[in-house]
Structure 1
Amino acid sequence: MSGAGRSDRSRGRDSNLGYWLRDAAEAFPGRVALIDLSGPVPREVTYAEIDERMDRVANLLSDAGIGAGDRFVLSVGNRFEFVEILFGGMRCGAVPVPLNFKLSEDSLAHIVRDAACRAAFVETAATERSVAVVERLGIERRWDVGGDGMGGERGGAGWLDYESALAGSSPRFDPPRLDARRPAFQPYTSGSTGKPKGVVLSHEGQLWWVRCLRKYWPADPGDRALVAVPLYHKNAMAGAIKPLLQAGASVVILPGFSPEPFLRALSGYRCTQVGAVPAVFAMVLDRMDLIEKLDFSALRKVTLGSAPVQPELMDAVERAFDIEVGESYGLTEGGPVMIGPGPDGRPTPRGSCGAAWPEGEIKLVRDGSEDPEYGELWVRNPGVTTGYHNLPEVNAARIRDGWLATGDLFFRDGEGFYYFRGRTDDMFNSGGENIYPKEVEDLLLSHPDVRDATVVPVPHALKGAVPAAVVRLRTEATVTAESLKRYTLERGPAYAHPRRIAIVEEMPLTGVGKVDRAAILGVLGDGGAG
């Protein structure tokens, strides 16, 4: 093959996020990259194997007519196939749309329609709502992930077995040359209206992010991370998958979280680091009997993030594992924002998310002007989203001259460290999941007996905050608070169902006719939820 041909392919890889793992695969082909604990026996996947499977995914999509700019659904649980499909799809220029399959069917349908997805990879045995949406919207090119590899239509009519299809595709893929500004993938995050917003992330910006990880958070080939949070969340990808796999290290993937399997995997696989939402470790600390019995001597790093972290929890985790615990901050659309310890090596104070990222810009804005100490956090760096999909008004409001208004409120101390203080809107975080009251209110209002509903966050010992609701019923309605809870559990994500529901005759209002949220908390009692 000519030198020009090799150069073209090299340029195609250099501008494509799908190839971020290629260097490690060439340097450590036989080393174990992923250890998947989702099946009856652990599945070890080497660097050479997953790199080849990514090429097969690219060929599979290309052969199906899916190419540059085409979106496809990725609704797969915590298993190694999620990683290969996500990045393999990017290799042919297609744009993965990872789904939070815990969302309501209506929300999932909105995402798939908004993204105009042309294909779907779905774990049909575990993501029933995604299956229903893909079938209802008539997506013809669809593969059932996680089958037995025996072929056939396991998920029903039109579903092809992913493993069989992958085996039939070529193990080598020649990448197209893509403009680095092209979309790499498009995750969705909820907006101020409660509707999911598509966050367009470019190849160029995400490759810069990968280079930053290598520079500021370098991993060692001997490192091993444990992932128990969903792979569709940034916490897992940015905290474990990308930094470790580009270094030849390994990642252990749990199918989900429960304290005992988490602790046994952390100990048994000699994991050196783990990141999770605070609620995970709040529950882990209930198993001190197991913590005292198991060996965690390999563990060197614990990072909590994706939700407000209480200093008392960090102290308790440090005592339990005899290790320093850090706090992280990030957002899907904002690239890297803060780093801790500080760039000059100073330790991060307790309660702080860190200092400003060395290669990015951040500022605090209050009342339309920059404030050195307190305000809404604005960020500008190459990793910031190129825009919210199909939302020009949101883009105009939130992205200005490359600056992204995050909606997060921060305090900056005299030493340059930042402390999270809340949100500019009424969104609240529950155990790492963002909840918008309007979304839960709309779900309650879809019940035929409910006339009005208001949802507010109340304190929770493990999750920080959970939803609670005050509801006004229609005349002669017979529905109970418990049946309304079941109604929301059956039709929406479990984490968003109201833990407490008070039924009232009149909704408390302020003098200007708006719902009085302070009075709502009074109706609900002391505001706590067990």
Structure 2
Amino acid sequence: MAELAVKTDRALSPLQQTARRLPHVEALRSNQLCLSYRDLAARALAIAGELKARGIRRLAVIGPNSAAQVLLYWGCIEAGVLFCPLSWRFPAAQLEELANRLGIDAVFVGEEAEIGDDANKPLLPSLPRFCPSDAVQATGIPASELDWHAPVNLVLTSGSSGAPKAALHSLNNHIASAEGAASLIPLVPGDGWLLSLPLFHIGGIAILNRCAHGGAAVVLAEGSVADSLAQLKPTHVSLVAAQLATLLETPQLLAPVKALLLGGGAMPSAMQERLLALGIKAFCSYGLTEMSSQVTSGAANSEGHSGSLLPGRELKIEDGQILLRGDSLFLGYLTPNGVERPLTPDGWFASKDRGSWIDDDGALKLKVEGRLDNMFICGGENLQPEEVEAALCQHPDIVEAIVFPAPDPRFGALPHAIIKAAAVMPSPDALDAFLQTRIARFKRPRSYLPWPEVAAVGLKVPRKQVIAAALAASHQSRK
């Protein structure tokens, strides 16, 4: 199969290139429809014509994943319109502020009755609505060559250290990312990657581009991941450890799966053995929005490393911080004053992630040790929450853990933990005994709270939301 010309300044979009090579191969699948690459490419061009006719330059897209959103993504690319997916979980006032700050001039909204903080109030009422007409199956519209280095979308960062930033990416970024990912997790015609991550998350957009690059199908999630596996039988799935633990209770659901891309840290050995018995390859990774998704990847492991550096990326560690560059490095942050690209003089992006290299039988693997902005001082000592979380997750009954500081008049701050148990929550005494030989005494949590009901939107745990919800539930239970 011919490789896509990643370095070319102007070329047809990845979708159009694949449609010419593989016109009859499945490109998009759900319970309601099945589109070939030829059909998907033709519909994208028709939507591009509508976007151009309306004079739209920046389109906000709000709502759960749908076929319409996938079509809009490629239609915006063909039209040179900036695709701006926003979370429907944001309050209406925050969406208004973001739309103004980002210069949005039109909005597509999915099932409005199911999203927003007030179902009786339309989202972004000040903006004109865009919805593709039913005539999007038109054919015969010629495809144009595009500038692969121009911005095609923005993705909001998680905002872990403040307000979310709007990261801009180009086709060149996305396909460089897809090529590197394919070196370890190949995609071929006939494969299908489940679109279980939202398109306002870089992991969701990465799936669209990986599939276009490899000629695989985007499989639209229907209900839960378990329902989607049962009904649509994707071959590739992105999951977090808690989801995998649940799925392994019904292992026949995983029968069609070739590869799992997992978020989070170390995978318990027992879980690895179960996947091996099922013939499923599981991969860990380290990635970030600014690098268009994956940076390192490797076989899931109990040591907690994130694998080796993928092709097309560069990584170095200075003073414990991970610095990055390469073809997948984003274009910069969109601001009211233009595009800002915060790089060192020699072109490195400072991730604010702590890390180190470990030698695994002669191969260097990245060990991500946590966020610099998560670290706090406990009794004059630096405490990295992720170290304690990794130790807790070695317990066979713990699926996920978050450690956070609480003010203390004597020590400045003390660690406390939020625990997601596989079944029964271990007692505090049992957890203290388990940690005794694994971490220093001052790092052990002083209390353990149960995991609250917080919706996950990607492969990273939403720390702030989980901590706030757990504290609120704890406060309520004490009333």
**Counterpart Cα distance in 1 of 2:44 and 2:416:** 42
> How far is 1:212 from its partner?
3.7
Query: Are the counterparts in 2 of residues 92 and 176 from structure 1 also a CA contact under 8 Å?
Result: no
CA shift digits 1:48-97 (9 cap, x unpaired): 2211111111111000012xxx2210113122222110121011111011
Indicate how the Cα distance of structure 1 residues 176 and 314 shifts in structure 2: closer, same or farther if over 3 A, else same: same
Alignment of 1:39-438 (within 5 A): 42-66=32-56, 70-123=57-110, 124-128=112-116, 134-136=123-125, 138-140=126-128, 142-143=129-130, 162-163=131-132, 165-167=133-135, 171-174=139-142, 179-213=147-181, 217-238=185-206, 240-257=207-224, 259=226, 261-265=227-231, 269-285=232-248, 288=249, 290-291=250-251, 294=252, 296-305=254-263, 307-312=264-269, 314-315=271-272, 318=275, 321-335=278-292, 336-340=294-298, 350-366=303-319, 375-390=320-335, 395=340, 400-414=345-359, 415-426=363-374
Q: State the distance in 1 between where 2:60 and 2:26 align.
A: 28
Distance, in Å, in 2 between the alignment partners of 1:71 and 1:275 is: 29
CA contact (8 A) 2:266 2:301 kept: no
- CA distance in 1 between counterparts of 2:161 and 2:11 reads 31
Q: Is the 8 A contact 2:84 2:153 kept in 1?
A: yes
Alpha-carbon distance change, 117 to 217 in structure 1, aligned in 2, over 3 angstroms: same
Could you tell me how far 1:117 is from its partner in structure 2? 0.4
Answer yes or no: is the 8 Å Cα contact 1:318–1:325 preserved in 2.
yes
Hey, what's the Cα distance between the residues in 2 that align with 1:365 and 1:391? 31
Task: Describe the superposition over 1:155-181 as per-residue Cα deviations: whole angstroms up to 9, x where unpaired.
Answer: xxxxxxx35x25179645456665443
Cα separation, 1, equivalents of 2:369 and 2:270: 17
Gaps of 5+ in 1: 1-9, 144-161, 342-346, 367-374, 439-453, 464-484, 487-492, 505-523, 526-530
What displacement does 1:113 show?
Answer: 1.7
* Letter paired with 1:114: R
Q: Deviations over 1:229-261 (max 9, x none)?
A: 3233233332x43323333322322144354x1
Report how far residue 494 of structure 1 moved: 7.4
SS of 2:324 mapped into structure 1: strand
Q: Contact 1:197–1:388 (CA<8 Å) still a contact in 2?
A: yes
Matched, 1:501 2:449: no
Distance 1:258 1:184, change over 3 A: closer
1:186 CA displacement: 0.6
Q: Distance in 2 between matches of 1:128 and 1:50?
A: 29
User: CA distance change for structure 1 residues 170 and 258 in 2, over 3 Å: closer, same or farther?
Assistant: closer
1:459 partner amino acid: I
Higher mean Cα deviation, 201-210 or 310-319?
310-319
Alpha-carbon shift at residue 281 of structure 1 (Å): 1.3
Answer yes or no: is the 8 Å Cα contact 2:155–2:202 preserved in 1: no
* Match status 1:19 vs 2:8: no
For residue 500 of structure 1, give the secondary structure of its aligned residue in structure 2: helix
Contact 2:323/2:348, CA 8 A, preserved across alignment: yes
Q: Distance in 2 between matches of 1:17 and 1:100?
A: 31
Contact 2:317/2:323 (CA < 8 Å) preserved in 1?
yes
Structure richer in strand, relative to its length: 2
Query: For the residues of structure 2 that align with 1:332 and 1:257, how far apart are their CA atoms?
Result: 25
Cα deviations across residues 393-445 of structure 1 (Å, max 9, x unaligned)?
Answer: 99576555321111111121133111121111139999x99x9x99xxxxxxx
Displacement of 1:100 after TM fit? 1.9
Aligned to 1:28: 22
Structure 1 window deviating more from structure 2 (187-196 vs 121-130): it is: 121-130
Q: Which amino acid aligns with 2:260?
A: V
Shift of 1:214: 5.2
Structure 1 residues 196 and 119: alpha-carbon distance in aligned structure 2, compared to 1, 3 A threshold: same
Q: Return the alpha-carbon distance in structure 2 between the equivalents of residues 283 and 295 of structure 1.
A: 11
Which residue in the other structure is 1:479 paired with? none
Q: CA deviation at 1:197?
A: 0.6
**1:383 and 1:312 mapped to 2: Cα distance?**
33
Give the TM-score of the pair, scaled to structure 2: 0.71
What percent identity do the matched residue pairs reach? 23
CA distance, structure 1, for counterparts of residue 34 and residue 465 of structure 2: 32
Q: Report the residue type matching 2:366 in the other structure.
A: Y
Cα-to-partner distance string for 1:87-113 (whole Å, 9 max, x where unaligned): 210111110111122233333233222
CA contact (8 A) 2:306 2:365 kept: yes
What is the TM-score of this pair, normalised by structure 1?
0.65
Cα 1:256/1:328, change in 2 over 3 Å: farther
- Residues 389 and 129 of structure 1, relative CA distance in 2, 3 Å threshold: farther
- Structure-2 separation of matches of 1:117 and 1:332: 21
SS at match of 1:246: helix
CA RMSD for the aligned pairs? Answer: 4.3
Counterparts of 1:270 and 1:129 in 2: how far apart (Å)? 34
| 1:401 match: secondary structure | coil
Whether contact under 8 Å (2:267, 2:301) holds in the other structure is no
**Cα 1:304–1:501, aligned 2, differ >3 Å: closer, same or farther?**
same
Given residue 378 of structure 1, which amino acid in structure 2 is its aligned partner?
L
Q: Deviations over 1:187-234 (max 9, x none)?
A: 111335431110011233334334444555432213233332323323
One-letter amino acid of the structure 2 residue matched with residue 318 of structure 1: L
- Please give the secondary structure, in 2, of the residue aligned with 1:298: coil
Contact 1:18 1:89 in 2 (8 A): no
Distance in 2 of aligned mates of 1:253 and 1:301:
17
CA contact (8 A) 2:63 2:87 kept: no
Q: What is the rounded CA distance, in whole Å, between the counterparts of 2:104 and 2:86 in structure 1? A: 12
Evaluate the alpha carbon distance shift between residue 303 and residue 457 of structure 1 in structure 2; reply closer, same or farther with a 3 A threshold: farther
Alpha-carbon distance in 1 for matches of 2:55, 2:150: 18
| Per-residue deviation, residues 16-40 of structure 1 (Å, max 9, x unmatched) | 7982122222233233222124xxx
Q: What secondary structure sits across from 2:290 in the alignment?
A: coil
> Does structure 2 conserve the Cα–Cα contact (< 8 Å) formed by 1:74 and 1:96?
yes
3-state SS of paired residue (1:303): strand
